[in-house]
Structure 1
């Protein structure tokens, strides 16, 4: 009997804490926070909250607690300036150093931007995209990484180009279809006549030395979904959100 009472009291306390948390997230009108409900499918609906501006939090919990903080990345600067990242991260006082890339893009790289692609909403868009991927990967004899912004597009391309490229002894490896990201990278290093179709984790941090990876294709640029709550709320802070924030 005492055990049942103790368990009931514990469940009641947990329920009260959940109620307080949900009430605070939904009813509290804090202009500096973003609140929304997220449908997690089988996991149910969750209440989410995020800061509109992370700069004050970084100032309080990181910069103020350290003697020095070093930020380094290949993508911190925008058009040769650190102004955007300094504003977003609240870096009022910082010494800057912008170093050029040692890679000789003029001699060692070729950029292709197709001008005859149909609009993404057009009926023939997917077919034309798959044909272009086939031609590019055949010309490069594999050694390719193709980046997608959705798993549906990745699966469709995998089904369309796998058999045609296999006739030229070029393997097509799809993320989530033929293995994990690391397994696919290992397979490419072992057999350069391979094409990796990837999304999400493949957009950052991929390092393949030498000619095993010689072709990079971005099927679509990875812009955030305009209706995504955090993106929508922060976009409202800019006069031209597409050019200033997206």
Structure 2
């Protein structure tokens, strides 16, 4: 079975070596690169399935590379950063990065995140070898296929979500019509979001609303309860106090 090719763009040789060892041990084919130029040279001859990008590259911007990738191709992106910089995290989410982790990270968690993103894009061997079942949840005109981890509309057209957006939606669907405090959303999204809670959650909520609501400024499904948290309404005809 073909191993997914994972690009690693990081200017620290020790970090690249560590990631190569970790990914190799977990059935991935790592492709290490020290800078943006090496990435562009590599992608011309190698079909990558996902790329890990360090935000703080020496004299270069990992965010700029991520933006360039998102403009030109549908390549999954997981961003790595050693800084607790709120702006970089928010920008990374807004440009469409599928996930991000803070250094130092838990190796098992990083592997799990990579596998989740690959499943989202249908790029993992597991996703390709397991046929879809009928595990679907419908709300309004949209349906979530929880086996394939995709969101589709009434014409069976996929609405692309980043991994963070899907995780948030899936969590809401597991607790429909229930007011969920912001701190619980933070816990579900992961320990790497322990800082700058309000702004990060707000960004993800806003982005998700743009994809699931007819009118994001007047949401009928993903609603805010001021001072309490958020609630996901499966049936808009039903009110939640």
Considering fraction of residues, name the structure with more strand: 2
Query: Of the two, which has the highest radius of gyration?
Result: 1
Whose relative contact order is higher, 1 or 2, with alpha carbons under 8 Å and at least 6 apart? 1
TM-score (norm 1): 0.23
TM-score (norm 2): 0.23
